[in-house]
Amino acid sequence: MKNSPGYNVIMNWLAGRGMHPFSFQEEAWKSILAGESGLVNAPTGFGKTYSVFLGALIDFINRHPDNYQTKSKNGLQLLWITPLRALAKDIGRAMEEVIVELGMSWKVGIRNGDTDINERARQKRQMPEVLIITPESLHLLLAQKGYPETLDSLRILAIDEWHELLGSKRGVQVELAISRIVGVKKRSQKNAGDPLRLWGISATIGNLEQAKEVLLSNIQREGVIVRANMHKKIEVESVIPDEIEKYPWAGHLGIKLVDKVIPIILENRTTLIFINTRGMSEMWYQSLLNAAPELAGAIALHHGSIDQELRQWVEENLHTGRLKAVVCTASLDLGVDFRPVETVIQVGSPKGVARFLQRAGRSGHQPDAVSKIYFLPTHSLELVEAAALKQAISEQLIESRDPMLLCFDVLVQYLCTLAISEGFTPDEVWEEIKRTYCFREITQDEWRQLLHYITEGGTALQQYDEYKKVEIIDGIFRITGRRVAMRHRLHIGTIVSDAMLKVKFLSGGFIGVIEEYFISRLEPGDTFTLAGRNLELVMIKDMTVLVRKSNAKKSAVPSWNGGRMPLSANLGKKLRETFNLAFEKKQLKAVELQALKPLFDRQEKHSHVPKANELLIEQIETKDGYHLFVYPFEGRLVHEAMAAILAYRISRIRPITFSFAMNDYGFELLSDQPIPVDDTNVYELFSPDNLFEDIQRSVNSTEMAKRKFRDIAVIGGLIFQGYPGEYKKARHLQSSASLLFKVFAEYEPDNLLMRQAYSEVFAQQMEEARLRDMLQRIQASEIVITWPEKLTPFCFPIKVDSMREDLSSEKLEDRVKKMQLLLEK
Amino acid sequence: MTRYLSHIIAGEHLVMSGERALFWEGQQTLIIADLHVGKTGHFRKEGIGVPAAIYKDDLHRLLSQILFFKAERLIIVGDLSHSIANRELDLFRKWRKDFSSLEVHLAKGNHDILDNRWYEEADIMVHNEPLPLFPFLFAHDTDQIDEIPVDHFLFSGHVHPSVTIRGRGKQALSMPCFYFSKTHCILPAFSKFTGSYQVRPTTDDEVFGIVGNEVVQLQKKTISS
């Protein structure tokens, strides 16, 4: 490599800017030039883009050493997949800069939801050499006639932020698109013998090897991992409340600590304040302004429901350092670095070590600078988490991202995408998808069912059926209906959001979006907060909420039902270990634990503080009924599943009806009669035996599957969300996911999409593997049952922050009777 | 809990069925709402593969109710069909011919957008205005009537009513229902391919829930407000 013309051109250019490549960059270039594929593991802000992009340039210059500067219209050379639209522009800008300075004639194009029609048409006529694209737009490209020709010249496929995509259905989308691109190139006569190179770029995750394997499964190559090996120093400090509440409840404490946040903002150049939910971020923004009115204009709000232009304005002002602080959600987790950011505040549990590190890493970008992150608890018990996080960071316990398997909904969508443009033959696609990590276990039978489903629509009443979607014309599977094709294009993607309405000022001006569910509870004249503004609802018209400014002091804070992340297994483990230190001598334990002494004392007095090798169970009677609290510290999803199983197992002892509540630390079963759990049967109730059967029998898996089915139905093309113009015409095609779930459960329970809903429940929602690990751990540990006379500090947050689920093992009919009897008393 | 439950309104005997139909004994008349024939076909024609069996089942249930009660007349209080004509509606018409002695009335609903000829050929009497049959009145939606005449009791559909009952321990259960106020009754949607709307009864109302295929009278206290 070192003697190649391309390498010298690039080295000279870097030297001209006073730069020298990192060794991992050179390593990546070398592998690229050798025709190798692989994964670059580097944190943001360390030239990961250059590691692949400059490699592509060197490759090109080496092939055209004499005319690399003038050679234009080369067709697509480098396809760059990125999960974030916002990243595309910055990456494109950085690439263009290099191209201009090298005097080359390459063009860089961006393709995403914001790309206008003219630009798309231009790209169709002449593809730029570099195309930066989102997974969704890549599928739209595959829905375009003539896509195979576009790919003829492609040499390198880069997948940026692969750790973000892996583990989601967008990752599956990427896998499928790659499988097609690889397949098309293999069949194409042009550029034969010059294999496509795949390069993933990923931050550190627990399963980097697997991340690489998922990506390269498509080309059946081993590949290489190129590691940057750069560790940033991170300093974690907890914001400790002056007084520790003995009965903590979520969300309540955080805002009270506003006064402790203001000095941090004032002391630092720029501060990012990460809040877990959009609703809370609105409240924080208001509270900060109320506490320090002088900050008006110097602080801003950034979350996913705020108008994009406004978000861009915030991002630009972050770059230029004009903002003192930005209150944000996961919306600023990813993306380019904001150099002025000196410190980060994490409000509430980050739920995982990786996320916490990622957020910490958003501060301190100068080389050798320390990333500073403050942890601010939303209830006092969360302070334990801070201590656990510190320990986990020092041990480098970073979570894995498990790839999703057999996502039939994404496959159904993908097959229809192919059917729109060039059509497909099942044999070809079968070969391709069998090479993907996601579908390598798919059976012939499942494949036949899928094809049957898209061509016949499942079991039909032959004579009277008019199902029409994918047709088989001369052996090629095609969609010919224009309306069906148009609807499909509009729904390509795997991110399913709740029904959202746009929010606009009467006088014009878009503010953001809001959930239909929230706004439907408001009356005209009511006020609510969005994007940090108090707004008065005037009316709802054509899917748009019209508002005017309000001076009202009080206003409703919207709730967005975004997915709440559960506590990771790693953090849960550290958390349990941290409790071991609760009653250690002061000098032996973290400041957080010292501060929590009054809470621990109270917990110990009324109940018990569990050690890592103990499981605490509390039985408490209140006027609401009989409560059973269990504290496995395994995250809310595992707790939800465990609650369902436990309820089922208890109900085999005696017919009994429960409602559930859970948080990341534990769960509650609540009943109107005493709960028969004691030392004689408790180990049996937590046995890992017959786990799978019991999960299936517990009624709750149906409820969970119903929730999963919502996304699946949208991705699989069963539900069409309204869209402008076509909205009225499509009204007779509207149905809700819960209705579809109900009718499929009754009439076609074997449908692949239904089965997928259940397998998603077992694999992800219930995290069956993690559940099993937990039960095995519990069997080997000591179960401590206490009978406190009143609610304890541990159970209090569950009691308050509850999300209730119903379960009854009794037959539905009996249950109705029983509830009535009870209420007649 | 039982499959059938009788109820007396204005001195007339009515039987509520767990199959989401109501039988008026005095007139040998079966009353249903929101059949939405052709809905699955409409979806399927547009490439949305919902189970076609729902439609077959809806028709079978209707058939069995007509036979069980030996009904001489069928009144549909709106939304017989879901959308524009399709082959499922052809099957319905064929089925209708096998019951030529059955008198069929349709109080027109917002989904009933088929050509008049279709109803003529199917031998269905369409009523654009509320249909009076003393002491009852039949209409699709209560909104169609400014004021219910004092000596009449109204039967309507459109709403697809459901009700949620709550017990201790925050238990909740939602089910389709017959909803009776002092002056009118809203029938549950007959088709199983229909969503539902939560009704919030007042203390003067009577509500009968449908659990599986059984009807149950609900205590006022259990119903949420």
Q: What is the DSSP string of A727-738?
A: TTGGGGG---HH
Cβ proximity of A182 and A196 under 8 Å = yes
Mean pLDDT of A696-719: 83
SS3 content of chain A, % helix, strand, coil (to 5): 45, 15, 40
pLDDT tens per residue, range A89-122:
889 999 999 999 999 999 999 998 778 888 888 8
What is residue A507's predicted lDDT score, i.e. its pLDDT? 87
Looking at per-residue pLDDT, the higher value among B69 and B174 belongs to B69
pLDDT tens per residue, range A360-405:
988 887 667 788 999 999 888 889 999 999 999 888 888 999 999 9
Mean pLDDT of B1-26: 92
Asked if pLDDT for residue A540 goes beyond 90, the answer is no
What is residue B224's predicted lDDT score, i.e. its pLDDT? 47
Please report where in the chains the tokens 């465990």 appear, as a residue. Answer: A642
Q: Which two tokens stand for residue A160?
A: 């940026």
Backbone φ and ψ for A558, nearest 5 degrees, come out as: -65, 155
Q: What are B16's strand-pairing partners?
A: B5, B22
Please report where in the chains the tokens 């490549």 appear, as a residue. Answer: A21
pLDDT band, residue A163 (cuts 50/70/90): very high
Interchain CB contacts (distance < 8 Å): A and B: 158
Cβ proximity of A423 and A478 under 8 Å = yes
Written as one letter, the residue type at B9 is I
Instruction: Show the CA angle centred on residue A19, arms to residues A15 and A20, nearest 5°.
Output: 90
Looking at per-residue pLDDT, the higher value among B146 and A189 belongs to B146
For residue A465, the chain B residues in CB contact (below 8 A) are 41, 44, 52, 87
Query: Domain range spanning residue B206?
Result: 4-222
Mean pLDDT of A655-676: 90
For residue B1, the chain A residues in CB contact (below 8 A) are 813, 816-817
**Mean pLDDT of the residues in chain B:** 90
ipTM entry:
0.90
Sign of the C-alpha dihedral computed for residues A692, A697, A699 and A702 taken in this order: positive
What is residue A622's predicted lDDT score, i.e. its pLDDT? 82
Instruction: Give the other-Cβ count within 10 Å of A588's Cβ.
Output: 9
For residue A803, the chain B residues in CB contact (below 8 A) are none
Answer whether B171 sits within 8 Å of A659, measured CB to CB: yes
Cβ proximity of A264 and A238 under 8 Å = no
Q: CA nearest A582: which of A599, A600, A598, A605?
A: A600
What is residue A43's predicted lDDT score, i.e. its pLDDT? 75
* C-alpha count within 13 angstroms, C-beta hemisphere, residue A257: 26
| DSSP for A716-757, written as a single string | TTS-----TTTTTGGGGG---HHHHHHHHHHH-TT-HHHHHH
Residues present in chain A in total? 825
Q: Looking at the complex, does the CB of residue B2 fall below 8 Å from at least one CB of chain A?
A: no
Tell me which long-range contacts A444-448 makes (C-beta under 8 A, separation of at least 24).
A446/A406, A446/A408, A446/A752
What is residue A820's predicted lDDT score, i.e. its pLDDT? 43
pLDDT band, residue A724 (cuts 50/70/90): very low
pLDDT tens per residue, range B95-132:
899 888 999 999 999 999 999 999 999 999 999 999 99
Answer whether A464 sits within 8 Å of B41, measured CB to CB: yes
Q: Which two tokens stand for residue A746?
A: 């009754």
Q: Could you tell me whether strands B214-217 and B206-211 are parallel, antiparallel, or unpaired per DSSP bridges? A: antiparallel
Helix axes A569-579, A383-394, angle to 10 degrees: 110
Asked if pLDDT for residue A818 goes beyond 70, the answer is no
SS (H, E, C) A318-366: HHCCCCCEEEECHHHCCCCCCCCEEEEEEECCCCCHHHHHHHHCCCCCC
Distance CA A202, CA A217 (A): 17
Answer whether B52 sits within 8 Å of A457, measured CB to CB: yes
Q: CA nearest A389: which of A595, A592, A601?
A: A592
For residue A747, the chain B residues in CB contact (below 8 A) are 51, 53-54, 57
Written as one letter, the residue type at A591 is V
Q: Which two tokens stand for residue A117?
A: 């029609």
Distance CA A764, CA A6 (A): 46
Distance CA A770, CA A33 (A): 42
Answer whether B51 sits within 8 Å of A458, measured CB to CB: yes
Residue to mutate among A416, A465, A480, with most B CBs inside 10 A, is: A465
What is residue A191's predicted lDDT score, i.e. its pLDDT? 64
Tell me the nearest-neighbour CA distance from B10 into chain A, angstroms: 28
Lowest mean pLDDT among A39-43, A105-109, A154-158, B177-181: A39-43
Please give the model's pTM, rounded to 2 decimal places. 0.85
Q: Looking at the complex, does the CB of residue A821 fall below 8 Å from at least one CB of chain B?
A: no
The residue of chain A nearest to residue B174, with distances taken between CA atoms, is A816
The radius of gyration of chain A's CA atoms, rounded to the nearest angstrom, is 28
Burial B84-112 (b: 16+ CB within 10 A, else e): ebbbbbebbbeebeebeeeebbbbbbebb
What is residue A777's predicted lDDT score, i.e. its pLDDT? 95
Distance CA A499, CA A513 (A): 10
Answer whether B46 sits within 8 Å of A812, measured CB to CB: no
Task: Give residues 166 to 195 of B whose Cβ lies within 8 Å of A.
Answer: 166-173, 192-195
The three-class DSSP label of residue A549 is strand
Instruction: Show the CA angle centred on residue A69, arms to residues A65 and A70, nearest 5°.
Output: 110
What is residue A9's predicted lDDT score, i.e. its pLDDT? 95
What is residue A247's predicted lDDT score, i.e. its pLDDT? 66
Asked if pLDDT for residue A563 goes beyond 70, the answer is no
Distance CA A7, CA B119 (A): 80
For residue B53, the chain A residues in CB contact (below 8 A) are 459, 461, 747-748
Tell me the CA distances in angstroms from B77 to A181, A272, B54, one per residue in order: 55, 59, 20
Q: CA nearest A485: which of A737, A140, A752, A174?
A: A140
Tell me the nearest-neighbour CA distance from A472 into chain B, angstroms: 14
What is residue B25's predicted lDDT score, i.e. its pLDDT? 96
pLDDT band, residue A459 (cuts 50/70/90): confident
Instruction: Give the other-Cβ count within 10 Å of A213's Cβ.
Output: 16
CATH number of the domain that residue B132 is part of: 3.60.21
Written as one letter, the residue type at A264 is I
Residue to mutate among B39, B42, B50, B83, with most A CBs inside 10 A, is: B50
Mean pLDDT of A67-84: 93
Answer whether A657 sits within 8 Å of B194, measured CB to CB: no
The three-class DSSP label of residue A314 is helix
- Which residues neighbour A294 within 8 Å (Cβ) at sequence distance 6 or greater? none
Tell me the CA distances in angstroms from A326 to A698, A767, B22, one per residue in order: 45, 35, 61
Instruction: Show the CA angle centred on residue B85, arms to residues B82 and B87, nearest 5°.
Output: 105
What is residue B218's predicted lDDT score, i.e. its pLDDT? 86
Mean pLDDT of B82-88: 89
Q: What are A326's strand-pairing partners?
A: A272, A300
Distance CA A8, CA A300 (A): 45
The three-class DSSP label of residue B33 is strand
The radius of gyration of chain B's CA atoms, rounded to the nearest angstrom, is 17
Q: What is the DSSP letter of A818?
A: H
Please report where in the chains the tokens 């309405």 appear, as a residue. Answer: A501
Answer whether B87 sits within 8 Å of A465, measured CB to CB: yes
Cβ proximity of A277 and A560 under 8 Å = yes
Instruction: Give the other-Cβ count within 10 Å of A307's Cβ.
Output: 18
What is residue A57's predicted lDDT score, i.e. its pLDDT? 96
Written as one letter, the residue type at A372 is K
Mean pLDDT of A770-788: 94
Please report where in the chains the tokens 């980097």 appear, as a residue. Answer: A208
Q: Which two tokens stand for residue A55?
A: 């490699």
For residue B88, the chain A residues in CB contact (below 8 A) are 464
Task: Give residues 11 to 50 of B whose Cβ lies within 8 Å of A.
Answer: 39, 41-50
Calculate what percentage of chain B has a pLDDT beyond 70: 94
Cβ proximity of A412 and A450 under 8 Å = yes
Residue to mutate among A409, A463, A464, A814, with most B CBs inside 10 A, is: A464
For residue B212, the chain A residues in CB contact (below 8 A) are 812-813
Longest dimension (CA), chain B: 56
Residue ranges and CATH numbers for the domains of chain A are: 5-227 (3.40.50.300), 234-394 (3.40.50.300), 500-549 (no CATH), 602-825 (no CATH)
The three-class DSSP label of residue A647 is helix
For residue B197, the chain A residues in CB contact (below 8 A) are none
pLDDT band, residue A173 (cuts 50/70/90): very high
Q: Which two tokens stand for residue A37?
A: 């594929």
Distance CA A468, CA A458 (A): 11
Asked if pLDDT for residue A728 goes beyond 50, the answer is no
Nearest to B87 among A464, A738, A812 (CB): A464
Tell me the nearest-neighbour CA distance from A479 into chain B, angstroms: 10
pLDDT band, residue A45 (cuts 50/70/90): low
**Mean pLDDT of the residues in chain A:** 87
What is residue A806's predicted lDDT score, i.e. its pLDDT? 36
Looking at per-residue pLDDT, the higher value among A233 and A488 belongs to A488
Please report where in the chains the tokens 């489903």 appear, as a residue. Answer: A453
Tell me which long-range contacts A593-598 makes (C-beta under 8 A, separation of at least 24).
A593/A383, A593/A384, A593/A387, A595/A240, A595/A241, A595/A244, A595/A380, A595/A383, A596/A244, A596/A380, A596/A381, A596/A383, A596/A384, A597/A244, A598/A244, A598/A246
Cβ proximity of A493 and A434 under 8 Å = no
Report how many domains make up chain B.
1
What is residue A613's predicted lDDT score, i.e. its pLDDT? 94
Answer whether A812 sits within 8 Å of B211, measured CB to CB: yes
Mean pLDDT of A762-786: 90
For residue A625, the chain B residues in CB contact (below 8 A) are 168-169
pLDDT band, residue A559 (cuts 50/70/90): low
Lowest mean pLDDT among A122-131, A201-210, A307-316, A343-352: A307-316
Task: Give residues 588 to 627 of A whose Cβ lies within 8 Å of B.
Answer: 624-625
